[in-house]
Amino acid sequence: MEALKGVNILDFTHVQSGPTCTQLLAWFGANVIKIERPGGGDITRSQLRDIEEVDSLYFTMLNHNKKSITLNIKDKSGKEVLEDLIKKSDVFVENFAPGTIERMGYGWDEIQKINPKIILASVKGFGPGPYEDCKVYENIAQCAGGAASTTGFLDGPPLVTGAQIGDSGTGLHLALGIVTALFQREKSGKGQRVDVSMQDGVVNLCRVKLRDYQRLKSGPLNEYSQYGKGIPFTDTTPRSGNDSGGGQPGWILKCKGWENDPDAYVYFITQAPVWDKICRVIGKEEWIEDQGYSSPKARLDKLELIFNTIEEWTKTKSKYDVVSICDPLGIPCGPILSMKEIANDQSLKDTGTIVEVDHPVRGKYISVGCPIKLSDSKAEVSRSPLLGEHNDEVLRDILNYDEDKINKVKQSDAMK
C-alpha cells in the first residue's frame, strides 16, 4: 500500500525546487499531474540536453512517477480545465516567480473559492520583506541563506556547494509542509497555505553556523582550526575549510594515488575516545601518554601537525583501505566518493537509492531513487512523462469529460 495513495496533487511547478517536492510525493503514491505550457513544457526539458530532441536528464531526473498535461492558462478553455482540476485536487503546488500565480488568477483567495479544502503550496526565493519580489535560483539562495559565507577556505572567497540545498532542500521542506497540512486537514476539514522560501530553507540548514556566530561573543571557537593556528576571529562565523564543525576535529587527507586521482582522499576524524587507536594505527604510540597530545585541549594548537602526520600514513593506503582499517577500530572516517563511484555503488543500488530507469526516447539512464525508506510504502521509480502524454487520460478519466468536450478542448488553444 502506498502511503499517499488517493492524494491528488496538481503540480504547477518547474525547474528544480517544486519538482523535487512533487516527485517525493509521487514516490509515496500521490497522483501527481504536472501542468506544462504547450510547446516546450517545463523549461528543463530542453536545458542541458545531452541528446538532441530528447528530454534532458535535468527534467527526467526530477519528474519521475508523474503524469503530464499541457495547458495554456492564458486561454479561456485552458483556465476551465485547470479549474476543474483544482476542484478534484487536494494540493496545488507552484514555484513561479513572485506575483505570477496571482496574475494568472489563482492566488490563495481565488483558489479557495474554487475548492475550499485545497492546500496551496508555494516556493518563492524570499519570504515577505525587502527581497520578496526577487526571482531566485539555487546559488542565490545559498548566498542569501548564509551558506556561502561559511563555505570555503579562510583565505578564499565565499563558495557555493554542489549539494542543491537551495532547490532540492527547499523542495524537501515544502513536501513536509504539505504532508503536515494534509494531516491537519484530517481534523480541521480545511485547507491552508504552505509557503517555503528558499532563503528560509537554507538558513534552516545553516543552523549550526548561526550557533557559532553567537558563541563568538564568549570568545574564539576552539574547534575551528584557525584557533590552533592563532588566527584571530572576526565578529561573524568564518569559513572553516574542511573542519569537522562538531567538537571532534576532522580534515580531508590525501590517500594513495592522490597525485593523479582528484578524489583519492578520505575524511578523517580524530575522535577523542579513540585517540589511542589512532596513535597506534599511524605508528605514533608516544602521543598516547605525551601530555602535549593526550587530551583534546592539548591537541588544539597542533591539529595541523597531527593531520599532516596522519596524512603521511593515509598516503600509503587507498581511501578504501583506510576505511577498512579504521572502521573496525571505531575511528570515524569516510572515503571521498566521486559521482562515478556513486553511480556504480552496489549498496546504493541494492537499497534503491541509485536506480536505472528506462525511457521510451532516451533509453536507459541512472537516477537517484527515493532517499526516504518507508517499510510499508516502498517507492518504485517510474519514468518521467513525455510532454502532454496524459492529456487524453486526464480529460477522460480524471475530469470525466465526454468525447464531445474532449474534442472541444483539443480544438481550442488550451493544449496547443
Residues contributing to the site for ligand COA (CB under 6 A): 15-18, 35, 37, 71-74, 95-97, 100, 103-104, 123-125, 135-137, 167, 198
In the complex, minimum distance from the CB of residue 18 to ligand COA, in angstroms, rounded to a whole number = 6
Residue 17 or 271 with smaller CB distance to ligand COA: 17
- Do 359 and 55 touch, CB atoms closer than 8 A? yes
In the complex, minimum distance from the CB of residue 369 to ligand COA, in angstroms, rounded to a whole number = 21
Residue 232 phi, psi dihedral angles, 5° rounding: -65, 150
In the complex, minimum distance from the CB of residue 122 to ligand COA, in angstroms, rounded to a whole number = 8
State how far the alpha carbon of 320 is from the alpha carbons of 81, 210, 263, 306, 316, in Å: 56, 34, 12, 21, 12
Which residue is catalytic, options 167, 345, 358, 392?
167
Q: Which residue has the cell 478534484?
A: 88
In the complex, minimum distance from the CB of residue 342 to ligand COA, in angstroms, rounded to a whole number = 22
In the complex, minimum distance from the CB of residue 394 to ligand COA, in angstroms, rounded to a whole number = 14
- 290 is an active site residue: no
Q: In sequence order, which residues have a C-beta less than 8 Å from that of residue 197 and are 6 or more positions away? A: 123, 124, 125, 126, 127, 170
* CA–CA separation, 262 and 291 (whole Å): 37
DSSP per-residue string spanning 367-398 = EE--SS--TTS-----PPPPTTTTHHHIIIII
Alpha helices in 236-387 (DSSP H): 275-281, 286-289, 296-299, 303-314, 319-326, 339-343, 346-350
Residue 69 or 221 with smaller CB distance to ligand COA: 69
In the complex, minimum distance from the CB of residue 141 to ligand COA, in angstroms, rounded to a whole number = 8
Residue 104 or 272 with smaller CB distance to ligand COA: 104
Q: In sequence order, which residues have a C-beta less than 8 Å from that of residue 332 and are 6 or more positions away? A: 248, 250, 269, 271, 326
* CA–CA separation, 123 and 157 (whole Å): 29
Residue 123 or 264 with smaller CB distance to ligand COA: 123
CB atoms within 10 A of CB 315: 16
Report residue 195 CA to chain centroid gap: 17
Residue 34 or 209 with smaller CB distance to ligand COA: 34
* CA–CA separation, 40 and 44 (whole Å): 9
Residue 126 or 227 with smaller CB distance to ligand COA: 126
Mind telling me the catalytic residues?
167
